[in-house]
Structure 1
């Protein structure tokens, strides 16, 4: 019954706190909830580990972009040289050079695409390792809150903000993995 009253007051905006014209901030209803929510994207990107992974991924991605630009410039130069030689060559002599160049370009494209896929695979693997390491800490958050489940915030159509435990989970994860790795911090 008390929960229903708290819920009704919350829905009606009756927090028991000073009115809108006064300076005190409105209180957040702290009704116990058997279900908590978590923004797993923010959990990862907001944690020290996630920030380190994202920074490494961004640096590796930028390095690959820079490498692709250098390769592209070199290939453009080579293509221009090949095109300039074309007028002085017979079709039979030019065709093997052209085919070799095209084969080279395709090989480079495949190699660069493989590097890009590897970067994506690596960050996905790091994200999965993070979520696996986070499970015991998320379980502690859940138990401490007296909840039975933590669900992805995106699955909730309507809910109270006070059931989102993302910030608390980030703080606990950063404390547990103080150096930004997934190795537990020394006690």
Structure 2
């Protein structure tokens, strides 16, 4: 149950869609002293993912796939433009019914290609989300160790907090620990 709550807290969306004023409260006057060990820790999920070797490797693979798809789209577009020009030239010499049949076939081909390319783009986006989820699932034991070392009972995404003390933000420590234990993620089993 503890692990499930931690996974939900780490993998869940921020509580607010509007910009949050996450500020350091260290300079504010306090009426009571702070406890020795904070019970709640903060973590920036986005920065944790993008700041680790694992997250950077995932992002590099996604960017490479996106660039490959963009290049493929440009090639396809150039081919289709050439085919459309050739079809336009044929219009001058073909009977209207024959041209209409060729034009409809060309339109159907374009729609099919468009649907296929959009499916590839969605697949890349889905791959990124799957890899991000896998990263957080793999990082949970490391984050649990950090939480236990700090004597905390919870880790909350920093974007869901309005005011906090910087000393309870463990993102940098978590990045270093995850890099040390997971590296770029390539050695993990599928």
Query: Which TM-score band applies after superposition, normalised by the shorter structure?
Result: 0.7 to 0.9
Q: Pick the structure with greater CA Rg.
A: 1
1:150 matched residue in structure 2: 155
> How many residues are aligned here?
162
Instruction: Please say if residues 41 and 152 of structure 2, whose CA atoms lie closer than 8 Å, have aligned partners that are also in contact.
Output: yes
In structure 2, the partner of 1:175 is 180
C-alpha contact 2:55 2:184 (8 A) present in aligned 1:
no
CA distance in 1, matches of 2:27, 2:164: 11
Tell me the equivalent position of 2:126.
121
Deviations 1:50-76 (Å, cap 9, x if unpaired)? 100100110110010010001001100
After superposition, the Cα gap between the structure-2 partners of 1:170 and 1:137, relative to the gap in structure 1 and judged at 3 Å, is: same
| Deviant stretches of 4+, over 6 Å | none
Question: Against the structure 1 CA distance between its residues 107 and 9, is the aligned structure 2 distance closer, same or farther, given a 3 Å change threshold?
Answer: closer
C-alpha distance after superposition, 1:62-91 (max 9, x if no partner): 010010001001100100110111121121
Q: What SS is found at the alignment partner of 2:133?
A: helix
Tell me, yes or no, if structure 1 residue 11 matches structure 2 residue 11: no
Q: Which segments of 5 or more consecutive residues in structure 2 lack a partner in the other structure?
A: 1-24
- The answer as to 2:46 corresponding to 1:46 is no
- In the alignment, the residues of structure 2 paired with residue 182 and residue 32 of structure 1 have an alpha-carbon distance, to the nearest angstrom, of 35
Greater relative CO (CA pairs within 8 A, separation 6+): 2
RMSD over aligned Cα atoms = 2.1
Residue 178 of structure 1, CA deviation: 2.9
Indicate how the Cα distance of structure 1 residues 89 and 179 shifts in structure 2: closer, same or farther if over 3 A, else same.
closer
- Please state whether the residue corresponding to 1:36 is helix, strand or coil: strand
| Structure 1 residues 57 and 170: CA distance shift in structure 2, 3 A | same
Matches within 5 A, 1:45-124: 45-124=50-129
CA distance in 2, matches of 1:126, 1:136: 17
Aligned-partner SS, 2:164: coil
Q: Distance in 2 between matches of 1:37 and 1:9?
A: 15
The equivalent residue for 1:162 is 167
Q: 1:38 to 1:9 in 2, by over 3 A?
A: closer
Structure 1 unaligned residues grouped into runs of 5+: 1-7, 14-28
